[in-house]
A and B are shown apart, each in its own frame.
Chain A
């Protein structure tokens, strides 16, 4: 049964901008005097009728603006949005670190949050002592920790260092311990904010697996991350926040698509960001994937060929030059291609380099493109990292079977004979 465990209703959070000084005291007294007489607070942004006062808008900001949503039991909700969209504010209100200005949240069950790695750790205490400290801070009783401490230590893989003061720990060990404590909590709802970025690859995988396991154990997880791949592979529900407003509540991939497309229109400058000595000589006009101009992160269906074109102006002849284009997934280099077989002169004027990749080659996910150019001279180079990206859609077809996992998809390459 899909039971609602968190219900957020018309949530607002306002912050006052600017510094706290003697002026603050003056306003505090003003607000206090108004409250004492039962009048409206002259310094509040939202009136009790829910209207926003324009006058106070310049020194106040709405971090959350009428946010409402529901989460069911066993959901793994991913929250995406650019910096300042209100993701962390939302988690902070959910974990009662700060309170909403208006609106309410109803919760069924215990909430535990891992909003930052080192929270509650004291560097002079040993790992074991820190487990107790962190666990109790998160609301566990000592008895509970006694029962679970061995699991916690084993999961964090720090058996050897458990009686060493935490100040000698590496940052990776900190995260592992922190995640491990939180993951062993009996809380029904877990809030996780971008903590996994610190651990190494293996541990990240282990955490993601653990999170999936937890949802199977009747837990609900709310997860904030900038790693779209993690969100799309892990979560079953997504929320896209922008400037404190909910833009979309849908599947994670839909939310990611909208987020990435909107990002293109708002903050992408005309010039791609390249570095290197050759930036004065080479100017890119367009880097285009499958002729979809102006679309950031185009979604490509598996049965489409992938054609990437680099079009630009060369202001001066460059000897022995070639472009290389690399495709990355999750920061792993998948492949590199060259636009010419042997380096050759890049002639002054416009150029167009084309790269074509066959259909059904990549498994679904987000891929980023890095472009590099090299001349004969060692000092003649240009490079642009992660300048474009594309998404391979998750679609089922004969040559694109779900069980062919990984990055590369090679259809029908196996054979069975009976001898």
Chain B
């Protein structure tokens, strides 16, 4: 499986590396990615440093943006359209949806640009290309954690004010849901970048699709509001299960069942593997086609 570019030891001659034309459909060298873990750290650090250099508010934007979006959603969907939030305070309901969705969509969109954006560096030096998507998911995770911290602050404000929010026992799985989001974004992002490298206009399509996708996911409405006949389709959207579980864990209201979640974890892994296979194929040829 890993024979292609990894360590192979033919019988008589001892070579540490053999370069051959790409063949086979799965040749990801996990060991090499592990060797480059310091590079992942540095890329994450670089993304962070660059975010605040020569800006006025810097990382504050990460806080302002979800707060404003949640505020806007409260106004439009909560106050004007009067969409139910399963009894959860509006701002908490929308913000929980927005930060999780932003983590997913932000990572996905950023990863989908991997090959196009890094073409110049990829053309000059070799390192496992998967380092870039992985570092993006981690950078975005840090951003998410900052937003999550703000969410928790607001959460406690509501608790002190005596608003009844209940925490579900499923909170122990919270890190796993976040991991699932990361893997899902990684998978979809890598699928997307594999196609946009060759056909640039797909980038526009992806931006558009992600926007539509948000409305197909219970970010601005609870799943319980969806009519029974449509709810079937939402089974195949792993983001639905993630956001509903996230809300159930922290806010005590969400439509989650064990088979539903299990199926979605399975779908997520399937997408991740598809993404990795496509990505590893493209990384070997893209420099000649970019």
Contacts and interface: CB of A to CB of B under 8 A. Distances in A.
A124 B15 contact: no
A33 interface: no
A84 interface: no
A108 B289 CA distance: 30
A136 B22 contact: no
A109 B125 contact: no
B125 A115 contact: yes
B29 to A, nearest CB: 11
Contacts of A172: none
Nearest to A122: B46
Interface in B125-154: 125-127
A97 B42 contact: no
B13 interface: yes
B21 A101 contact: yes
A95 B5 CA distance: 12
A16 interface: yes
B38 A105 contact: no
B278 to A, nearest CB: 13
A119 B50 contact: no
Contacts, number: 110
For chain A, give the interface size range: 35 or more
Interface residues of B, number: 37
Contacts of B21: 99-104
A111 B122 CA distance: 16
B46 A125 contact: yes
A102 B125 CA distance: 21
A357 interface: no
B288 A96 contact: no
Nearest to A104: B20
Contact of A124 (B22, B41, B53): B53
Contacts of A104: 18-21
A24 interface: yes
Nearest to B53: A124
Most chain B CB neighbours (cut-off 10 Å) among A7, A20, A99, A140: A99
Given A20-B198, A97-B123, A107 B288 contact: no
A97 B39 contact: no
A355 interface: no
A64 to B, nearest CB: 12
A1 interface: no
A268 interface: no
Contacts of B161: none
A95 B50 CA distance: 29
Contact of A139 (B22, B54, B127): B127
Interface string B91-134: 00000000000000000000000000000011111110000000
A138 interface: yes
A110 B127 CA distance: 13
Interface in B215-233: none
A137 B123 CA distance: 13
B35 interface: yes
7 contacts: A25-B199, A92-B287, A104-B19, A104-B20, A107-B19, A136-B38, A137-B121
